[in-house]
Amino acid sequence: MLSHRVFTALALLPPFLAAVFLLPTPWFAAVIGVVVLLGALEWLPMIGLHRWSVAWAVFGLLAGLMALVAGSVEAGVITPAVLLLGVMWWLLAPLFLWHFSRRVGHVGSLGTASGLVVGLLLLLPSWTALVWLHAQVGGPWLVLLLFVMTWMADIGAYFAGRRFGRHRLAPAISPGKTLEGFAGGLMLALLSAVFVWQMIPIAEVPVAPFLFLLLLAIIYSVIGDLFESMVKRRAGVKDSGALLPGHGGVLDRIDSITASATIFAGGLYLIWL
């Protein structure tokens, strides 16, 4: 229900803002890391892994990789390499959506090995992106910008789709999404992103590439949402979990961010580089 979604969102907003603006980057990384591990816990059953022994092994691997990345956020090649890997994955992701849409009913669930690789490509680069953004000058505002435009894309799409929706965006994956909703979400997200951008105390960046990057990140927030919907359909589940009333699981709440954060941080890294 919408009321449950709103209540849950309002309850999560204060601790989220506190983590973004009050915590130093290492502690912020730890908090976001817990969220990512909860997402991994929901991901494993969707790819057919239900044993706790396997879950602990995956958690250990993911936590170890996070620790490795955390040590190179300020300098080194590990962080940009992970961001580049994540960007390359998301550039390929629309092909998987297209393939599923054409062969719906003939595509089974993700295999265990491929599911583990995909899960790693979803979670580690997006966590890296958020930590890297937070560590920059004006980093908390960059993180807020990312989340605000991702949220507004979702909110705008919901209300524009309900009011004007006529043409389905991806009926085989998410029948409720429409092209009209997508356009409404895109406009609201871009306007909100430009508004928040004015408050970020960062060095001058080229306007045209930055606006294009904002637009690309917003589009990929929708692709991230669609990708998780595709995985859930292949697994035969409606939600990734039941931790968040009105939203489902943690993955249901961060699916858009896994894509938009990676694209936004990767693109911003290239602009500043």
Closest-CA residue to 148 (of 189, 176, 116, 202):
189
Question: Which residue range is the domain that position 69 belongs to?
Answer: 2-272
Instruction: Say if CB 96 and CB 227 are below 8 A apart.
Output: yes
Instruction: Say if CB 64 and CB 78 are below 8 A apart.
Output: no
The answer, yes or no, to whether residue 18 has pLDDT greater than 60, is yes
What pLDDT was estimated at residue 245?
A: 65
Tokens found for residue 247: 């939203």
Span of 78-87, 102-111, 125-134, 250-259 with lowest mean pLDDT: 102-111
Nearest-angstrom CA–CA distance, 201 and 222 = 28
In this prediction the pTM is 0.92
Residues 56-110 have pLDDT tens digits of 888 888 888 888 888 777 767 889 999 999 999 999 999 988 888 777 655 556 6
Strand (E) or helix (H) holding 180: helix 179-197
Instruction: Say if CB 136 and CB 166 are below 8 A apart.
Output: no
In this prediction, residues 137-156 reach a mean pLDDT of 92
For residue 151, how far is the Cα from the chain centroid? 11
What pLDDT was estimated at residue 109?
A: 63
What pLDDT was estimated at residue 107?
A: 59
Q: Please tell me which residue, 4 or 13, carries the higher pLDDT value.
A: 13
Domains identified in the chain, total number: 1
pLDDT grade for 234, boundaries at 50, 70 and 90 = confident
Q: What is the DSSP string of 194-211?
A: HHHHTT-------HHHHH
In this prediction, residues 190-205 reach a mean pLDDT of 79
Instruction: Say if CB 154 and CB 221 are below 8 A apart.
Output: yes
Average pLDDT of the chain is 86
pLDDT grade for 196, boundaries at 50, 70 and 90 = confident
Helix (H, G, I), strand (E, B) or coil at 260: helix
